[in-house]
Structure 1
Amino acid sequence: MAAWSPSSSAPFRRTSRTTSARKKPEGSVPERPSSLDLGTGADWQRVSPRYVVVEIVGTIVVGVIACAAAAAVWYLLELQWALYAGAGVALVTLVALILEPRRVRSIGYQLRQDDLLFRRGIMFQRFVAVPYGRMQLVDITRGPIARWLGLADLKLVTAAATTGVAIPGLTEADAESLRDRLVELAESRRAGL
C-alpha cells in the first residue's frame, strides 16, 4: 500500500508502508490462515493397531474371491486372459497386504475447537473437517472380525454427503466415549446457532 509523504518535495510522491506498521482496530476479527491448520503430529489420535488384522482379512477375502473367479473362467471357458487377470489380482493383493500396516497408521483424527478433523491415505491423502454444529447422526458399527477384536467404526453423518466420515478401528470404549462427546458438542453448537 502506498501513501503520500508530506516531507517529500513532490506533492504526490508515494512511499510504501509495511503491514506490520499498521495497527488493527480493537475488536477486529483475526485474519484466517490461508490454508487448513492441520496441527502438529502430537495432536492426532490414531486408530487401534489391531485394525490392521481387520484390513488384512478383508484384503485376503477379496483377493481369494477374485482369483477364484478368474480361475473358474479360465478353467470352464478356457480363456487365457483370465489366467493373466488372476495373476494380476494376486499381485495387487500381495502389494495391498504389504501396504496395509502403513495405511492403517495414516488414519487419524483430531478434536479441534469447532470441528473434528479426519485424515487418511498414504499417497492420496484426504483431510475432512466436520463442524460439530453440522453433525446430524453419530453411529457406531461393528463388523464380525472387528467385534471379535473388540473394535468398532464411528460414523458421522451431516447434511452434505461429501462430509460424511467413518473413523474405523476404534476400541469399543473409545468409540462410545467419542460418540457421547461428539453428540454433546453437536447439541451445544446447534443450540448456539
Structure 2
Amino acid sequence: MDDLFAPSDVSWTPVSPKLAAVRRVTAAITFGLLAIAGLLVLGLTVDWLYGGLWLLLMLAGFAWSWRMIGRNQQSWKYAEREDELLVSHGILFRQLVVVPYGRMQFVDVAAGPLERSFGIATVELHTATPATDAKIPGLLPDEASRLRDRLSALGQAQAWGL
C-alpha cells in the first residue's frame, strides 16, 4: 500500500522543519485567543470552575495539535521526474498528486508574514483542472526560487507539444 503513495523509483525531497514551527506558532495564537475568549465568556456568565475546565481543554487541544503538526510536516515531500512532479503528504488521509509538466499553466510562490519571518515559502502549481493543482509548503527561499524557475521552464518546454 505504501508504494501507492510513495513510489520507490524516485528520490523524495522533504520540506523544511521550519514549516512545523510556523504552524505551531499559528496554533498557539489560535488556542490562546480561544482560551481567553472562553475564559471571559464562561467567567462572566457561568462560573470560574467552567473557565478552568475550558482552559484544560484548550491546553489538551494545543498539546495534541503540537504533536500532529510535527507529524504532518514530516509527511510532506516532493519528487521531480522527467515528465511530472509528484507531491505527497498526509498522515491519516494520505494524498499523492502527480502534475505533468506540460499541463501546468503557471507556478506561484507565496509567503505570508509569519512564513517570511521564519524564512520559508510555498510553491503552488496551477493547471487547467483545479483538482490537479498542487502546493509544496515549507520550502527555503533558494529552493522555492529554483523549483519555480525549473517548473516554469519545463512547463513551457513541454506545453509546446500540445
TM range (shorter): 0.7 to 0.9
2:42 is equivalent to residue 67 of structure 1 = no
Aligned to 2:121: 152
1:82-103 deviation per Cα after TM superposition (whole angstroms, max 9, x unaligned) = 7655543331221111232222
**Percent identity between the two aligned chains:** 33
Map of 2:146 onto structure 1? 177
Residue 81 of structure 2 corresponds to 112
Contact 2:89 2:96 in 1 (8 A): yes
Structure 2's unaligned 5+ residue stretches are none
Give the letter for the 1:70 counterpart: G
Root-mean-square deviation over aligned CA pairs: 2.3
- TM-score, length of structure 2 as denominator length: 0.85
SS in 1 for 2:6: coil
* Structure with higher helix content: 2
TM-score, length-scaled by structure 1: 0.73
Equivalent pairs counted in the alignment come to 159
Residue in structure 2 matching 1:142, options 95, 98, 111 = 111
C-alpha displacement at 1:40, in angstroms?
A: 2.3
1:9-48 maps to which residues of 2 (within 5 A)? Answer: 38-40=6-8, 43-48=11-16
Q: Secondary structure at the match of 2:124?
A: strand
Report the CA distance shift for 1:165/1:131 in structure 2 as closer, same or farther (over 3 A): same
Contact 2:5–2:94 (Cα < 8 Å) also in 1: no
Deviations 1:107-153 (A, max 9, x none): 00011222211111112211111121221121111122221222111
Bigger Rg over Cα: 1
> Given the alignment, which residue of 81, 84, 98 partners 1:129?
98
SS at 2:82 equivalent? coil
